[in-house]
Amino acid sequence: MVSARANGPKSVSIIPERTSDIKTLRIGSWIRDRIILIDLGFYKYGIFSKIQNSGGYFVSRMKSNANPVILGLNKGCKLDKGRIKGKKLAEIINGLNGETLDAKIEIKYYKKENTGRRELILEEFRLVAIYNLEDEKYHVYITNISDNLLTAEDIAYLYKGRWEIELIFKELKSKYQLDVVETTNVQVIEAFIWISILTIIVSREIYNIVRMLNPDRQIARFTQMRWCNVFVESSPDFLREVLCYIGVNDSDIIKTKFEVYGSQAFYPHVNRERFRDNLWA
């Protein structure tokens, strides 16, 4: 779970890769008065209902094959209510001519009971469709955030916050080697994951200090990806300062390095004969 507002990890859990995304999200009291931005891997109407019933909010892109019934238009929508109400999304979206759609929709889904029977659930959510000039198509969102709180444009802008989250995972993979863990050892895998998480937390702390020390510069130009390059290149210097702060001097560091080198360079197979064994003086 990553916080777009805090610009870093909010909580971390380690789950087997074969587990589907949707099973990793547990909705509880923590969601109250919070907004969760979720991608299509977590798209499930039952989850949307749980978030709403728990006092939380969500914004998600709507699946391309979703075709909800439009119950009515919200107050900021300038479209003709008569030709929209009661229609399904697929019937009217191609005729919007670039206009923004902000509507109340009805969603139907089945909930499985403990008895094995399925109960039909009807829910009302909000649909926002905004034409994207770059993609030349509509971006359609589903949410439970009231139009009294955020406009349709605000919903689309809010969802862009997910890009900040995508950048964090890109940073973890491209700069902190989280995508090249060549081992099946569970303990080693967990160690690599936690090293990456702790590294990005330290990086963010220093990143925030750098921004605070430069109050006269545009904050937006202190980009994450540019900063992580600086951090990776400078990390030996940061480590040396930390070690000196806790009382480890340069001679201790060099001694430790050579101990590590000696361990890593030593061939582990004791009984294997080597061609060079008889050549060393």
User: 3-state DSSP call for residue 94?
Assistant: helix
Give me the pLDDT at residue 149, please. 94
With beta carbons less than 8 A apart as the criterion, state whether 10 and 35 touch. Answer: no
Q: In whole angstroms, what is the distance from residue 159 CA to residue 36 CA?
A: 10
Residue 84 pLDDT greater than 80, yes or no: yes
Q: Report if residue 7 sits inside a domain.
A: no
Q: Report if residue 270 sits inside a domain.
A: no
Give me the pLDDT at residue 228, please. 87
160, 180, 197 - which closes a domain? 160
Are 200 and 253 contained in the same domain?
yes
Q: What is the mean pLDDT of residues 12-28?
A: 83
Q: Report if residue 26 sits inside a domain.
A: no
Are 113 and 200 contained in the same domain?
no
Q: Report if residue 149 sits inside a domain.
A: yes
Are 211 and 114 contained in the same domain?
no
**How many other C-beta atoms can be found within 10 angstroms of the C-beta atom of residue 158?**
18
Give me the pLDDT at residue 181, please. 79
Are 127 and 239 contained in the same domain?
no
With beta carbons less than 8 A apart as the criterion, state whether 22 and 41 touch. Answer: yes
Are 148 and 240 contained in the same domain?
no
Give me the pLDDT at residue 60, please. 96
Give me the pLDDT at residue 262, please. 78
Are 172 and 154 contained in the same domain?
no
114, 130, 160 - which closes a domain? 160
The pTM for the full model equals: 0.74
With beta carbons less than 8 A apart as the criterion, state whether 145 and 59 touch. Answer: yes
Are 100 and 46 contained in the same domain?
yes
Tokens of 161: 């916050």
Q: Report if residue 3 sits inside a domain.
A: no
Are 144 and 37 contained in the same domain?
yes
Residue 77 pLDDT greater than 60, yes or no: yes
pLDDT band at 280 (very low <50, low <70, confident <90, very high): low
Quote the domain boundaries for residue 74. Answer: 32-160
Q: In whole angstroms, what is the distance from residue 147 CA to residue 149 CA?
A: 5
Residue 97 pLDDT greater than 80, yes or no: yes
Give me the pLDDT at residue 126, please. 97
Residue 169 pLDDT greater than 60, yes or no: yes
Are 261 and 232 contained in the same domain?
yes
Q: Report if residue 126 sits inside a domain.
A: yes
Q: Report if residue 281 sits inside a domain.
A: no
Are 44 and 91 contained in the same domain?
yes
Give me the pLDDT at residue 6, please. 67
Are 55 and 123 contained in the same domain?
yes
Q: Return the higher-pLDDT residue of 63 and 17.
A: 63
Q: In whole angstroms, what is the distance from residue 36 CA to residue 56 CA?
A: 8
Give me the pLDDT at residue 155, please. 96
Q: Report if residue 236 sits inside a domain.
A: yes
118, 141, 160 - which closes a domain? 160
Q: In whole angstroms, what is the distance from residue 147 CA to residue 72 CA?
A: 13
Tally of structural domains, the chain: 2
